[in-house]
Amino acid sequence: MHQSVLLNRAVDYLNLSKGAVVVDATVGGGGHSEEILKAILPGGRLIGIDTDPGALAIAKERLKNFSDSITLVNDNFRNIDRILKIQNIKNVDAVLLDVGISSYQLDDESRGFSIRSDSRLDMRMNQSSGITAYDVVNKYKEDKLSEIIEKYGEERFHNRIARFIKDARERKAIETTAELAAIVKRAVGYKYRNLRIDPATRTFQAIRIYVNDELGALEEALKSAIFWLKTGGRIVVISFHSLEDRIVKNTFKGYSKLGVLKIITKKPLIPEHEEVIKNPRSRSAKLRVAERIEQQA
């Protein structure tokens, strides 16, 4: 089962009360949603959003005892304006965004997210739409590949990796995650010999982020969600790498200067040692919190 990261602290910082209306914009397996519902019932309502239909199916089963108080929506959280308007929501008490990929998506070998699997290159959060990792790896020009790997993976060997990918696909199409990981390892593996991370980690991250436009979606979701908050309402964001955290930090800072938000966490909160031991995937998580304030005339 997917282990929700920073579960208790995230829910505590939402500052919930009975009867609250809350958006879990990345419902995933429903772990955060379940604790939110316990805090807002009776009388509360939860809108759960996820772009992955599989995630919603898991959440629906997990949250079946709360079915009268939840609405699950299969959509990208960048469309939060449209989603809340359709649900006739006027404003909300809190918003949670747990950004990134979930454990069950990584562990599902058919999705093509994991370096350790041997599955077709896909990497789409929603497998019914959009370009796939296969398209990017096999059809994009070398300079575009290099740009993606550098920008979204912060990979210093992006040029070399892109060249190796181009050379390999000229012989045959690169069809699986194992093939791609092996190519990246040949390109830069020896340079990573003293590091603990797999040499393909940054490249896989970059392609996944690009395929799903994760950073663009995060920016749009943040800017929309902030203005759905009531005065005193909280937004909590959990991110997992520096690019995401930078967007959250800068967005909060910008709206703080405009007198729209008060930043609650001056520095991001990180998991305690015990949580990292139990759930190693939580080790890179960062949590930031802001509160909507009443704008002065």
What radius of gyration do the chain's Cα atoms show?
Answer: 20
Q: Which residue has the tokens 């296969």?
A: 134
pLDDT digits (tens, 9 = 90+) for 104-124: 566 566 666 677 778 899 999
- State which fold the 118-212 domain adopts: DNA polymerase; domain 1 (1.10.150)
Kindly state the tokens that stand for 291: 């509160």
Q: Using 50, 70 and 90 to split pLDDT, how confident is the model at 152?
A: very high
| CATH for the stretch 7-104+214-292 | 3.40.50.150
Q: How far apart are CA 33 and CA 49, in angstroms?
A: 10
Cα separation values, 21 from 24, 89, 163, 221, Å: 10, 9, 50, 17
232 torsion bin: left (phi>0), alpha (psi -120 to 50), beta (else): left
pTM score, two decimals? 0.91
> Which residue intervals of the chain are DSSP H helices?
7-14, 31-40, 53-62, 80-86, 103-107, 133-139, 142-153, 158-171, 177-188, 201-212, 214-225, 242-257, 273-278
The residue extents of the domains of the chain are 7-104+214-292, 118-212
- What local confidence, expressed as pLDDT, does residue 110 receive? 64
CA-closest candidate to residue 225, choices 29, 52, 71, 84:
84
**Residue 59 pLDDT exceeds 80:** yes
Q: What is the pLDDT of residue 109?
A: 64
Least confident of 41-50, 56-65, 267-276: 267-276
pLDDT of residue 195: 65
**Whether 184 contacts 160, CB under 8 Å:** no
